[in-house]
Amino acid sequence: MTATIELSITLVLKILLLSLLPTFEGRYALLIGIAVGLDPLTSFIIASAGVVILAVVLPSALTFIDDLARAAWNSKYTLISKFSGLYLRYVSSVRRRVHKYVDRYGTVGLILFVAIPLPATGVWTGALGAYLLGMNRWKTMISLLVGGLISNIVTLVAAVIVA
């Protein structure tokens, strides 16, 4: 009995960790959980916990990139200073140009982008895109959460139908 519980906890942690990795994320971790014998609903819940974690952590963590670039811009090392200045100008320019589109379509567009269960359309890519486009952090978190959960639901339904 104890070995079964330990195996289950280990399996749950493995699926949760897979759900946090770029390229795997919740939808593929969910499928792996089902493939190794987890109940589909249990696998969905574990994979969705990963989506929640990523939706909260990534938008907050990515804001540190700008902070690092600003700090490096004041660096005494010319190459680092020039590179970070170039980065800051480029990102600022992109954000200015797309601002009206982000305001109009940002939340719904990001939800749809993340919800499509295909490679390179998940929470990680969505968070990076939202960051580069200058989306509001709270709207980004909600969009990533909703889109990631929709993606998991689509994947779960497809897996149950196929099985």
Domain ranges of the chain: 2-162
Contact predicate 59/141, CB 8 Å: yes
Phi/psi class of residue 120: alpha, beta or left (left: φ > 0; alpha: ψ in -120 to 50)? left
* Mean of pLDDT values over 33-41: 93
Share of residues in the chain with pLDDT > 70 (%): 94
* Mean of pLDDT values over 125-146: 91
94: pLDDT confidence band, cut at 50, 70 and 90? confident
Contact predicate 37/10, CB 8 Å: no
Is residue 5 over pLDDT 60? Answer: no
Q: pTM value?
A: 0.82
Residue type, 48: S
pLDDT per position as a tens digit, 47-75? 999 999 999 999 998 888 877 877 777 77
Rounded CA-CA distance 11/39 in Å is 12
Higher-scoring residue by pLDDT: 94, 8: 8
- What are the angstrom distances between the C-alpha of 35 and each of 29, 38, 128, 132? 10, 7, 30, 36
Helix (H, G, I), strand (E, B) or coil at 107: helix
